[in-house]
Amino acid sequence: MNRRPLLAGNWKMHTTVIDACQLAAEIGKCSVGVTDRDVLLAPPYTVLSEVAHVLHGSNVLLASQNVCWEEQGAFTGEISPTMVTSVGGRAAIIGHSERRQIFHEDAEIINRRVQGAVKFGLIAIFCVGETLEEREGDRTFEVLEEQVKAGLAGVAPESMKKVVVAYEPVWAIGTGKTATKEQAQEVHAFIRKLLAEMFEKDIADSVRILYGGSVKPDNVDELMAQPDIDGALVGGAALDAESFCRIINFS
Ligand code: PEP
């Protein structure tokens, strides 16, 4: 199965308008002519619109870092799928470990977000990952199974073309510690097998599964060479144009 690679940058709570426009322009420039893979940026909400203008006409996709399941209403602090699409956003990151851990977003909320995103036509970049304690306690697969089943509950098989899964071991996010290519491949293959059980093999084979956790220019090539790793969700290194451009151009 030929899955189109996806290199996604999550800027988290970084960049003012000026920084964001400059960074987006540099990334847009190095993405010119990149046609065999998707490049995506998830800037803070405050700069989505400006970044969309900077990227206009480029092939870089825009995403929000989270999304609500409702189109509008009394949801202070949230952003709706139609707000995201209204500025040209095509995707939303959902269930990032920082949302789960710091802001206590639970499985039910995350599932509502995934369902809301796909209902309104966004690509849901659905994140899962175990903590160090869970890995050391030999609970990695159990935890991931729980997260994947809960997060994708009620998602129709035909909506799975709007879902990208991101495996992000919590212990590897922002720590400089990357899962080895073997550890990452093992989990990606597990998730794909699980998707085949939940949906069907063809669907599982077509879903892109990204790896995230300290992806950098010097480890992206070996990670991307794994058969079940279809891309990367990048935090820190996505804030540096040179590093992210190298990641986009993995070989
Ligand atoms: C992330 O925030 O999704 C992430 C993987 O961060 P980093 O690349 O900095 O580990």
Identify the pLDDT of residue 136: 92
Banded model confidence at residue 176, pLDDT cuts 50, 70, 90: confident
Q: What is the pLDDT of residues 81-112, one digit of tens each?
A: 999 999 999 999 999 999 999 999 999 999 99
Residue 110 lies in a domain: yes
Please give the single-letter amino acid code of residue 131.
Answer: T
Probe residue for ligand 1, chosen from 126, 164, 168 as the CB with the greatest number of ligand atoms within 8 Å: 168
Two structure tokens written together for 237:
């290194």
Domain holding 88, by residue range, is 6-248
Chain segment 119-129, per-residue pLDDT in tens: 999 999 999 99
Q: How far apart, in Å, are the Cα atoms of 104 and each of 8, 74, 98, 109, 125?
A: 24, 20, 9, 10, 18
Q: Which of 173, 218, 223, 243 is the best mutation target for the ligand 1 pocket, counting ligand atoms within 8 Å of the beta carbon and taking the most?
A: 173
Residue 75 domain-assigned? yes
| Residue in the block written with tokens 């922002």 | 174
For residue 174, name the pLDDT band (cuts at 50, 70, 90).
Answer: confident
Q: What is the pTM of this model?
A: 0.97
Domain tally for the chain?
A: 1
Atom of ligand 1 nearest to the CA of 96: 3
In a domain, 1, yes or no: no
| Domain assignment of residue 70, yes or no | yes
Looking at the chain, the whole-number percentage of residues with pLDDT higher than 70 is 100
Atom of ligand 1 nearest to the CA of 216: 8
Q: In CATH, what number is assigned to the domain containing residue 125?
A: 3.20.20.70
Do the domain assignments include residue 99? yes
